[in-house]
Structures are given as C-alpha cells and as structure tokens.
Copies of this chain bind each other. A is one copy, B any other.
Amino acid sequence: MRNALLRCKSCGANYDARTPTFRCECGEPLDLVWDGGEGAAEKRTDRAIFFPFEEGEWVSLGEGNTPLVSVKDFADELGLADVQVKNESANPTWSFKDRGTAACVAHARALGFSRIGTVSTGNMAASVAAYGAAAGMEAVILVKGDTDEEKMAPVAIYGPTLLRVEGAYDKLYKESIRLGAELGIYFMNSDVPFRVAGSRTIAFEIAEQRGFSVPDWVVVPTSAGGNLRGIINGFEDLLSAGLTDRMPRFLCAQAQGCSPIVAAFDAGEERIKPFESPHTIAHAIENPFPPSGNRVLAELRRYGGVALGAKEKEIVKAQKHMARQGFFGQPASCVPLACLRNAREEGLVAEGSTAVLIMTGSGLKYTAAFQAHKLKWKDCKLKELAEKMR
C-alpha cells in the first residue's frame, strides 16, 4: 500500500491511511485523500489511480462498471432535460456495497488482517461474505436476533461465520467495533473510510459515462450517509483533477419513516438527532441515527443540496414506476425517484435540469415488498389463449 492520508473534513485532523483507523478522534468520519500518486498517468489499471493500493492487494469480483441509462418517460413526466438511472444492482452481489467492500478488503489485506467483519442483515452482509470468500479471509457477519431465515440464507451461502445476536442493535454495532479492535477483525461497517472511498467510483463512472459533463443533480438514497459522502468526494476529486468544471448538487433522499437528516436539514441544525420509532418499507436505509449524518448535512449545504423525504405510498409508487421502465430496484433504491418528484413539486429542482438517480440494489433482495403491489395475472385454459391474447 502506498502513502495516503485520511482526513476529517469536520475538524481538519489527518491520519496515516496505512493504519486501521476508522473514525476521527472528534467523533466524525474520515475521508481518503488520494490524488493518484506519483506517475498516476502511467499506471496499468484505473483502480491503481483510484486507490493507494499495490496491484496484488486488490481482490476483484468485477465490481463497478454499472450501466447509466436515460429514462425519457421520467424526464418528460418531471419536466427535466434528462433523468438517468445508475443501476448498481449490476454488481457481483447485486448492490453498490461491493465497491466499498472491495476497497476495504484491499485495505485489510494491505494491513495484514486475515479476518473481516460487518454488522448488517442485508446488502452489506452478502457483500462482505462474498468478498471474504473470494479473498480467502474469514468473514464474521453479525445480524440482529430477530432476523428470519429468508434473510440469513443469501448470506450463509457464501460460507461466513454468521452470528445472530440477541440484544439491542446499537449495542451490537458498538460492541462489534470494540471486539474487532481487540480480536484483530477489520470491521467494514457502513461509513468506514475505505467503504466511502469505494463509493467515489460511482461518481467517476457517472462523469465518464456522460462524457465528463456533470449532471445538475445526483439523487442518493441515504441511511448511514457513507455512500452519499463517497459520491461527493468522487465529484470533488474529478473537479480537482480538472476532468470536470463544476460540482453537481446533491439530493439526500430518505424515507419519511426514517428521516433524521431531513429533520435536521429542515430545522437548520448542524447535528442530527436520533429518529424516533423508525418504520419504512425501505429497510435498507432505515438507520435512525446515521453515523455520517452531521457530515452529510455540512456537505449538502456546501454544494447547495437538499434533503427530502418520501412517504411510504410514494416509495411503493416509485418502485412500480421504476419497474414499468425495466428497473426493478429494492424499495430503498426507488426512494430517489419519489424524492425527485417531491423536489420538483416544491420547486427545489428547476425545470429542464438533468438528474441521476442511484438505484442501489436489486428488487430480488427484498421480495416481501411484492405484497405492497397489486400484481396482476390471469389464469386461462389453452383453448382460451387466443381470446386472452387478443
């Protein structure tokens, strides 16, 4: 691994990236500072420019390089010049998490760890289990005590050490970090520096796929806040490198049923508060006290962004409308469309703007959501087929 820094954008402290440092002493999260290093232009692979790792440290399952597709119907409906879907379900474990997991695994390998871990019941659990398997590292996956078998199996298939832990979830999160440090397990939770660094590649790809023309808006489903932070960092890196000429504005999209960042944004606060009694169909973004929440608030304000919520009905409607354009995303992935609609209604996004929606994961991940839809089919006999098809 090459020499690089982790910087706290809040208090300005710097740390050596070649150490297992997961958070600033001030309590805020850390961002990788990396400009490609010496001789970046002659490097063999793009990845060597994006991350301070040596060739052999990276274990790839083919993460990234996901499609960016314009949806004319959305643009027409919303009065926008272009609405594009960045389909992160086309990743090896069918969610954006693979980008950050790959970066964390490289970091863990560079630092000599042989065990990795995470606390998650969904996309991150499957991703860490898969990359642990690929890297030949033991993956310790901790899930809540009430997690049902349907959610365990798609993680267990990769062969991790899978522990279902009785007790409060926030305590489990903290205890995992403490035990990880004690037992030498690299816990790659939601907003650790290299997971966030992995999300930068979403920005790099969007820019490249658009011929380095920056969209007016990037709309990101937001839970812990790490993915949005990474995408912002990526656009900052592009601007610093002179590849783009401006920053996009960011729409932090949350479910109203769990919207601590929206609440703080609307109240003009600088710090988020825990969201009481969170409940939403968009389980993948149901974090009531996002560890990167304060940082996200600051970044939104810096770049003229907004935070908006979507009602449950609006999320279900957006999931249907995404599918009716060929994109079947899990409910959390459809919150951006719902929030963009709300932003247009409130006049926050100007007519004729361009927007990119981040579709974070596959609809196959959360089949319980089917129950929210009135799905239709007809039964018939073979001899009735002609009549039914007419």
Contact = CB atoms under 8 A, between A and B. Distances in A.
A375 B60 contact: no
Contact of A379 (B164, B182, B185): B164
A325 B137 CA distance: 11
A210 interface: no
A15 interface: no
A381 B165 contact: yes
A131 B364 contact: no
- For A185, A383, A389, which residue has the most chain B Cβ atoms within 10 angstroms? A389
A22 B65 CA distance: 34
B91 A172 contact: no
A163 B62 contact: no
A69 B62 contact: yes
A287 interface: no
Contacts of A68: 62
Interface stretch (A192-200, A218-226, A365-373): A365-373
B386 A154 contact: no
Contacts of A267: none
A172 B154 CA distance: 34
Interface in A68-96: 68-69, 73, 87, 89-94
A326 B61 contact: yes
Interface in A292-351: 320, 323-328
Contacts of A94: 89, 94, 362, 364
A358 B164 CA distance: 34
Contact of A328 (B91, B93, B320, B386): B93
Contact of A326 (B90, B133, B140, B375): B133
B67 A375 contact: no
A26 interface: no
Given A183-B390, A378-B164, A158 B328 contact: yes
A61 B87 CA distance: 9
A382 B171 contact: yes
A152 interface: yes
Given A156-B375, A157-B323, 18 more contacts: A61-B69, A90-B91, A92-B327, A93-B326, A94-B364, A134-B325, A140-B389, A153-B375, A162-B376, A163-B379, A163-B389, A164-B378, A164-B380, A165-B385, A167-B382, A167-B383, A179-B389, A364-B365
Interface of A: 60-63, 65-69, 73, 87, 89-94, 117, 126, 130-131, 133-134, 136, 140, 142, 145, 150, 152-154, 156-159, 161-168, 171-172, 175-176, 179, 182-183, 185, 320, 323-328, 362-365, 367, 370, 373, 375-383, 385-386, 388-390
